[in-house]
C-alpha cells in the first residue's frame, strides 16, 4: 500500500507542478488559470485508475463544492481500459451464478463490446423466455448485454480509498481547505461508489426509470433479466443504435434529429422536475439513438434526486431563466438556499441581467452553458456559497443543453424548454393545495377591487 501511496503522490504532485508552470506561477488569472488546474486534475484521475476516475465523475455532479471549470472538465473523464481475458469474466459468472456461461446463455461471445475500469460488457443470447418487470416478454434468443465487474477491482478501489482517507484527514487540518470538508466529502463519495459497485442497484434504477417513462414511446431502457443478475453481474437486453456523437448515419437513415433533441431535453427536465430522480452521468457513451428514432438510456450507476420543494423552486427558476426574468429567478433562488447579502443584492441583480442579455436573449443562439458558467463565476466573485440544490439546477441546465446539442448542434434549448417549463408551472398552480394556499390572497384582492 505504501508503494501505491507513493505512486498516487507522484502523479498528483507531477500534475500539480505542470499546472503551476502552465499557469505561469499564478500570473494567468481567473477562468484560464482554473481551467488549467482542472485539466491536470482530470489527467491525474485518468492516470490513477478506477477509484480516482469515479471520484472525479462524482465531483462532476457537485457544482456546489467544486469550481465550474473542474465540474465540466471532470465530465470528460474517460475510463476505457484494456480488456480482461474472457476466461476471467466467465469465471466470475460461474462463481456468481453457479453454472458455466454455456449453460446460462444460448450464446456468449468472448469478445467484449465495451471495456471500462469497473466493468466489462459482453454480448450473449437469452436461453429461454423471460417476463421482465417492465414491458413485453423477452423470447429465447433475445440479444443480451452481460455487464461483469472486473476481477480484483473492488480490492483495488478499497486500497486507493484507504490512501485517499489519509490524505483527506491531513487536508482537514489546513484552514484554507477545511471549509470543503474533504473527509466528509470523501465519505459521501465512498457511499455512492459502493452503491455503484453493486450492479443490482443499477438494475433497480433502470427498472424505475423505465416505469417513469412507460408512457413515452420515444424512450428506451434495456430490460433487466433478474434471474441472471447478481451483485457483480447485470444482464439486460441488448439494444442496437447510433452513439450521439455519430449521428450522421442516423440522419441519412431519416432520423428527425431536431425533434429528437427537443424531446431528449424534455425527458431530462421530466426526470429532474417531475419524477425527482435523474440520470446523473449523461454523456455520449450512455445514450444512443435506435434505428426507429427513439433515445436509449444506459448505465444508471450515478443517479441524482430532487425533493418536492426543490422541484417547485427549480421549476420557477427555470421558467424565470427562459423568460429572462432576473428578479423572479433570484427570488425563487432563495428557496433553494441561495443567500445573497442585502448589500450585494443590487449588484448581483445587475450582473444577472447583463448575463441573461449576453447569453440567452439572442434569438436562436442561446448559450446555456455560457450562462451557467458565468453565473457560477459571478457567485464566486461575490463569495456567495452555492447550496447543493442550486448547483443541481445549474448542472441540469447545462446537461440538458449538452445532450440536446449532441443530437442536433443547432438547437436553441431555451426555446425548447419554454413550453415544457410553462406547462409545468401551470400544472403546479392548478394543484388543489396550491389553490387553497393562494385563495385567501385572491379573495382579499377581489374584495379590495369591489370596495374601490
User: Do 228 and 235 meet the contact criterion of CB atoms below 8 Å apart?
Assistant: yes
Tracing cell 457537485 back to the chain, one arrives at 62
d(CA 22, CA 403): 31
d(CA 277, CA 292): 27
215 an active-site residue? no
Beta-strand pair 287-289/295-297: antiparallel
Question: E strand or H helix at 278, and its extent?
Answer: strand 277-279
C-alpha cell at 420: 415544457
242-279 per-residue burial string, b: 16 or more CB within 10 A, e: under 16 = bebeebeebbeeebebeebbbbbbbbbbbbbbebebbb
* Alpha helices by DSSP H, 279-412: 308-322, 326-333, 345-359, 368-381, 388-407
Q: Any residues with CB less than 8 A from the CB of 184 and at least 6 apart, and which?
A: none
Which of 79, 160, 281, 299 is an active site residue? 281
d(CA 227, CA 130): 9
C-alpha cell at 39: 485539466
d(CA 210, CA 256): 23
Strand-pair partners of 143: 125
Where does residue 131 rank: exposed (0-12), middle (13-18), buried (19+ CB within 10 A)?
exposed
d(CA 270, CA 211): 13
User: Do 125 and 107 meet the contact criterion of CB atoms below 8 Å apart?
Assistant: yes
Q: Any residues with CB less than 8 A from the CB of 358 and at least 6 apart, and which?
A: 370, 374
**Which of 352, 351, 362 has the alpha carbon at shortest distance from 325?**
352
**Which of 40, 61, 194 has the alpha carbon at shortest distance from 118?**
194
Tracing cell 484521475 back to the chain, one arrives at 45
Beta strand residue intervals within 25-167, DSSP E = 105-115, 119-126, 143-149
Q: Annotated catalytic sites, by residue?
A: 281
Amino acid at each position: 500500500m505504501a508503494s501505491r501511496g507513493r505512486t498516487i503522490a507522484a502523479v498528483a504532485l507531477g500534475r500539480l507542478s505542470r499546472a503551476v508552470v502552465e499557469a505561469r506561477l499564478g500570473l494567468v488569472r481567473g477562468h484560464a488559470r482554473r481551467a488549467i488546474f482542472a485539466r491536470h486534475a482530470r489527467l491525474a484521475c485518468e492516470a490513477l485508475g478506477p477509484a480516482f476516475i469515479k471520484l472525479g465523475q462524482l465531483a462532476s455532479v457537485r457544482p456546489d463544492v467544486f469550481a465550474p471549470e473542474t465540474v465540466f472538465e471532470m465530465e470528460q473523464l474517460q475510463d476505457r481500459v484494456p480488456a480482461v481475458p474472457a476466461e476471467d469474466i466467465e469465471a466470475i459468472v460461474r462463481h456468481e451464478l453457479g453454472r458455466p456461461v454455456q449453460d446460462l446463455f444460448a450464446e456468449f461471445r468472448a469478445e467484449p463490446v465495451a471495456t471500462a475500469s469497473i466493468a466489462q460488457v459482453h454480448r450473449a443470447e437469452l436461453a429461454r423466455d423471460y417476463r421482465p418487470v417492465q414491458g413485453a416478454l423477452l423470447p429465447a434468443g433475445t440479444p443480451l448485454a452481460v455487464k461483469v465487474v472486473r476481477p480484483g477491482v473492488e480490492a483495488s478501489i478499497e486500497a486507493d480509498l484507504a490512501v485517499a482517507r489519509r490524505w483527506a484527514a491531513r487536508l482537514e487540518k489546513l484552514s484554507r481547505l477545511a471549509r470543503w470538508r474533504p473527509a466528509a466529502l470523501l465519505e459521501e463519495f465512498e457511499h455512492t461508489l459502493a452503491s455503484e459497485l453493486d450492479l443490482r442497484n443499477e438494475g433497480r434504477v433502470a427498472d424505475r426509470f423505465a416505469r417513469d417513462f412507460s408512457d413515452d414511446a420515444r424512450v428506451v431502457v434495456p430490460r433487466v433479466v433478474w434471474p441472471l443478475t447478481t451483485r457483480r453481474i447485470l444482464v439486460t437486453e441488448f439494444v442496437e443504435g447510433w452513439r450521439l456523437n455519430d449521428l450522421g448515419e442516423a440522419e441519412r437513415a431519416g432520423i428527425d434529429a431536431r425533434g429528437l433533441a427537443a424531446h431528449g431535453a424534455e425527458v431530462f427536465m421530466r426526470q429532474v422536475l417531475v419524477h425527482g430522480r435523474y440520470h446523473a452521468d449523461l454523456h455520449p457513451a450512455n445514450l444512443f439513438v435506435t434505428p426507429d428514432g427513439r433515445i436509449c438510456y444506459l448505465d444508471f450507476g450515478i443517479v441524482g434526486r430532487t425533493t418536492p420543494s426543490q422541484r417547485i423552486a427549480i421549476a420557477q427558476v427555470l421558467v424565470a431563466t427562459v423568460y429572462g426574468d432576473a428578479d423572479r429567478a433570484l427570488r425563487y433562488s432563495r428557496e433553494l438556499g441561495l443567500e445573497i447579502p442585502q448589500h450585494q443584492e443590487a449588484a448581483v441583480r445587475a450582473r444577472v441581467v447583463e448575463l441573461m442579455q449576453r447569453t440567452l436573449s439572442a434569438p436562436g443562439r442561446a448559450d446555456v452553458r455560457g450562462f451557467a458558467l458565468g453565473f457560477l463565476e459571478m457567485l464566486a466573485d461575490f463569495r456567495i456559497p452555492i447550496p447543493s440544490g442550486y448547483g443541481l439546477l445549474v448542472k441540469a441546465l447545462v446537461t440538458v443543453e449538452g445532450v440536446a446539442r449532441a443530437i442536433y448542434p443547432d438547437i436553441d434549448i431555451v426555446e425548447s424548454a419554454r413550453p415544457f417549463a410553462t406547462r409545468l408551472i401551470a400544472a403546479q398552480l392548478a394543484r388543489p393545495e396550491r389553490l387553497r394556499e393562494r385563495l385567501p390572497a385572491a379573495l382579499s384582492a377581489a374584495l379590495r377591487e369591489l370596495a374601490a
